[in-house]
Amino acid sequence: MVFGSQLIQCVRNVAAVAWEPGKPLVMEEVEVAPPQAMEVRLKILFTSLCHTDVYFWEAKGQTPLFPRIFGHEAGGIVESVGEGVTDLIPGDHVLPVFTGECKECRHCKSEESNMCDLLRINTDRGVMLNDGKSRFSIKGKPIYHFVGTSTFSEYTVVHVGCVAKINPAAPLDKVCILSCGISTGLGATLNVAKPKRGSTVAIFGLGAVGLAAAEGARIAGASRIIGVDLNSKRFDEAKKFGVTEFVNPKDHDKPVQEVIAEMTGGGVDRSVECTGSVNAMISAFECVHDGWGVAVLVGVPNKDDAFKTHPMNLLNEKTLKGTFFGNYKPRSDLPAVVEKYMNKELELEKFITHEVSFSEINKAFEYMLKGDSLRCIIRMDA
Q: What residues act catalytically? A: 50-52, 72-73, 102, 105, 108, 116, 120, 180, 375
290: nearest Cα among 307, 315, 309, 271: 315
Percent helix, strand and coil across the chain, each to the nearest 5 = 30, 25, 45
User: What is the spatial distance between Cα 133 and Cα 226, in angstroms, rounded to a whole number?
Assistant: 47
Which residues face 44 on adjacent strands? 76
b (16+ CB within 10 A) / e for 122-157: ebeebbbbbeeebbbeeeeeebbbbbbbbbbbbbbb
Sort residue 211 into left (φ over 0), alpha (ψ -120 to 50) or beta. Answer: alpha
What is 168-222 written as a DSSP string? Answer: TTS-HHHHGGGGTHHHHHHHIIIIII-PPTT-EEEEE--SHHHHHHHHHHHHHT-
Return the SS3 of 314.
Answer: helix
214: nearest Cα among 230, 201, 223, 198: 201
Alpha helices in the chain (DSSP H): 51-57, 106-109, 172-175, 181-187, 208-220, 235-239, 256-264, 278-286, 312-315, 330-342, 361-370
